[in-house]
Amino acid sequence: MLDEIHEECGIAAVYIKGNSNSANKALFYLYRLLLNLQNRGQLSAGVTTHDPKRNQLLDTHKDLGHVNEVFRTSDKAKSFEIFKKYAGSKGIGHVRYATSGTEGKGVAQPFERHHGRKWKWFAFGFNGNLANYTELKRKLLSSGEIHLTYDNDTEIILHNITNILNEHKKRPDMAKVFGELAKKFDGCYNISYINAEGEIVVCRDPHGFRPLVYGFSDDKKVFMAASESNALLNCGIKKIKPLQPGYMVHIVNDKVRIRKFAESKKISHCMFEWVYFSNVSSVLDNKSVYITRTRLGKELAKLETEKVNAEDYVVVPVPDTAKASGDAYAFELGVPSREGIIRNRYVGRTFIEGSSRYDRVQSKYTALKRVLRGKKVLLTDDSIVRGATTKQLVRYLKEDGEAKEVHLRISCPPLRGPCFYGIDMSTISELLVPSFEGKPVSGNITKQTCAKIAKHLGADSLIYQSIEGLVKSIRMPSKKLCMACINGRYPTPCGKKLFKKAWEYHNKGSKKRVISGMC
């Protein structure tokens, strides 16, 4: 994706049973899981582990940066100290990208709450976004007894868990605790939770917006859960299952149980997980990400209007998430697929790159002139968000790459609305397509609108995937997919109201962010 957007985070949990040879290696597994979830969050990483033999029964290590930066792996001695200090047989982990609020170290997760009673001393990590955040915040502050330090929904969740636990005189059934949370929350929330007694909960919200999987080692002594299957697979877990919406993994007294904590009235799996967010090697709710993306390419090829041939045309997928769909699209049309632009993988975020978007494109990509010169380039990507970077890449391919023509081919239908469920898209005005359509649209984009957008971007033509092609590629009924950002049909009451408010702002020319909870 050129105009990169981000998923908020990824979660993980590890439990090692009894006195096995790996009994104190939970942190080692958590580290490996988080490395494989790095695509879901690159702002911060953290873990909380449990060890009944140390004074800090729960201990949390977290910081800003990539996983290897947080665990100081470039310094062997410091890294060894971290792994020694936070060793344990149980733990949870988190990687984060902020969709809102501050980006300081304090908002890195897991969040930990200390307490003298072990079952009230807990830590948790959170993947998602609460659409009714402002309403929940208002209720918490109304008593005048609670102070909120951070402007985010993770802190809201912490106080709600705390309040529910405080209503009990002895350790409550955690299925009931999370059932109470489900009654309060509108939105997306996958949570990994651990308390100082070593009790673990991993839950998936009743809509199932974000993926969550679990599995055991072959000898059944190691349990792992994570946001994506590739993380478990790369830790040696072979039999991986999706956790169903409204269910939780509950680990207590050396027993691992799958329990229902809330009714799931409507399944709403985020279609963007298959299109862009998830690792291409993952399997989400039994649907392969890679296979889905190849189908998206095949469906896109059916919409082609150019009279393509292998001599004049070349397909160039934008690295890296568009490669599977781009290659499949090229194969269906009998046109070569080439790496006409190479991503400069080690640039990272820098403060000394050029100030213009064109300079940043040149910093991020290298155009291969010998592939592009004189060719009609079919530039494939998974989506266009704001369009500004896409516009500069088209210019770059023509000016520096000397491409004869550039035709944009997008494997996802156009993005038309904000996401209130954990994706970094918060206003109508920051999206490209609504400014050309001028009103909420739920069907496929017209050829006339595509022509106007292509002209705006400097491209010779533009074709988007159809909504029908998207659903067919994922091979899941449309009623079980959240496609709100492309068709405006938000699956929760607060989401519907926020979308209406977002259009009110847009029509007034306001770029004001729609705050979750304005419903």
DSSP category for residue 414: P
Our answer to whether residue 9 is catalytic in this structure is yes
Token pair, residue 42, equals 């690159």
Q: For residues 184 and 494, is the Cβ–Cβ distance under 8 A?
A: no
* CA terminus-to-terminus distance, the chain: 31
- DSSP labels for 155-219? HHHHHHHHHHHHT-SSPPPHHHHHHHHHHH--EEEEEEEEETT--EEEE--TT--S--EEEE-TT
Q: For residues 254 and 18, is the Cβ–Cβ distance under 8 A?
A: yes
Catalytic residue among 9, 188, 419, 494: 9
Closest-CA residue to 205 (of 189, 193, 194, 225): 189
User: How, if at all, do strands 187-195 and 365-367 pair?
Assistant: unpaired
Distance (Å, whole) CA 183 – CA 26: 32
Q: For residues 473 and 464, is the Cβ–Cβ distance under 8 A?
A: no
Helix (H, G, I), strand (E, B) or coil at 232: helix
Q: Where are the alpha helices (DSSP H) in 302-365?
A: 323-333, 357-364
> Residue 317 forms beta bridges with which residues?
380
Helix (H, G, I), strand (E, B) or coil at 464: strand
Helix (H) or strand (E) run with residue 45 in it = strand 44-50
Helix (H, G, I), strand (E, B) or coil at 398: helix
* C-alpha distance from residue 502 to each of 1, 19, 137, 488 (Å): 24, 55, 20, 11
What radius of gyration do the chain's Cα atoms show?
24
Q: Which amino acid is at 421?
A: Y
> Residue 115 forms beta bridges with which residues?
none
Distance (Å, whole) CA 417 – CA 491: 13
Token pair, residue 332, equals 């269906």
Distance (Å, whole) CA 511 – CA 490: 21
Distance (Å, whole) CA 500 – CA 440: 9
The catalytic site residues sit at 9
